[in-house]
Chains A and B, each alone.
Chain A
C-alpha cells in the first residue's frame, strides 16, 4: 500500500530557528503539493510541483518559506526564520496526471510548534 511519507512527524522549535520538513511522494507520482492546516484558516495550499518544477508558490510567504524538489523522491519545505504564527500542521500530498490530476494522496503531516 503506497503512501506519502513525511518527516519529522512532530517538531517543536523556538522562534528564529530554521525548520526543514521532508516529504517522499508515492513512487511514480509526478505532482507534489504542500499544504498548511490551522484551526483558523483550514487547509491552505502553499506550493506545488509538477515533474519537479515549481508551478505555483503564491500561497507561501516568500520572505521566510522556500520549497524545493531536489529529486523525484524528495520534496522539502523550509522556514527560516520560524515564527510562532507558523505553528500548524504541514501536509504534503502527491498525485499523478493519470487517471486524474485532481486526486491527491496526503502524507501524515508534520505538526510544527514554534515557541
Chain B
C-alpha cells in the first residue's frame, strides 16, 4: 500500500466552479500535512499546510480527518490559473521526511 494515495483525476471544471478532492495516508503517526502545487514541467511549491481544525487560504480550504486518515482540498471559484497538479504531502513520522502523493490533476477551462 502506498503511503499517500490520491485520485489522479483529471478533474476538468469550468471557470467559477468548485472542485474538491481527497487523499488518504497510511501512517497514523504522521503529524504534518500539506498541499503542494506543481505546474507542468515546474517544481512543486507549497500551497498550504493543513491543520486539524481545518483552514482556509483565500479560495482554498483544506481539511484533515485524523480518524479516517484523509486530507481534502477544496477550490472555490476556480480560475484558469488553478490548472495544475496538486500533491498531497504527509510527514512520515520521522524528522524531516515527507511522503508525496502522485498528484491530482485539475484543469480549469474557460
- B103 A102 Cβ-Cβ under 8 A: no
- A102 B32 Cβ-Cβ under 8 A: yes
CA–CA, A48 and B96, complex, Å: 9
Q: Does B35 contact A (CB under 8 A)?
A: no
- B34 A102 Cβ-Cβ under 8 A: yes
- B42 A101 Cβ-Cβ under 8 A: no
Residues in A whose Cβ lies below 8 Å from that of B44: 43, 91, 106
CA–CA, A107 and B44, complex, Å: 9
- B42 A108 Cβ-Cβ under 8 A: yes
| A-B pair number, CB within 8 angstroms | 44
Residues in A whose Cβ lies below 8 Å from that of B100: 42-43
Residues of A contacting B: mostly: strand
Residues in B whose Cβ lies below 8 Å from that of A45: 97-99
Residues in B whose Cβ lies below 8 Å from that of A108: 42-43
CA–CA, A5 and B91, complex, Å: 24
Interface size band for A: 20 to 34
- Which chain A residue has the least Cβ–Cβ distance from B46? A103
- B45 A101 Cβ-Cβ under 8 A: no
Task: Give the residue of B42, B45, B94, B101 whose beta carbon is less than 8 angstroms from that of A42.
Answer: B101
Closest beta carbon of chain A to B64's beta carbon, Å: 14
Closest beta carbon of chain B to A93's beta carbon, Å: 8
CA–CA, A101 and B49, complex, Å: 12
Interface residues of B in 52-110 (CB under 8 A from A): 87, 91, 94-103
Q: Please give the residue numbers on chain A whose beta carbons come within 8 Å of chain B beta carbons, in ascending order.
A: 31, 33, 42-43, 45, 48, 50, 55-56, 91, 95, 100-109
Report, nearest first, the 6 A-B pairs whose CB atoms are least far apart: A106-B43, A43-B100, A42-B102, A102-B32, A106-B44, A102-B91
Between A and B, 14 residue pairs with Cβ closer than 8 Å are A33-B96, A42-B100, A43-B44, A45-B98, A91-B43, A102-B32, A102-B34, A102-B91, A103-B46, A103-B49, A105-B46, A106-B45, A107-B43, A109-B43
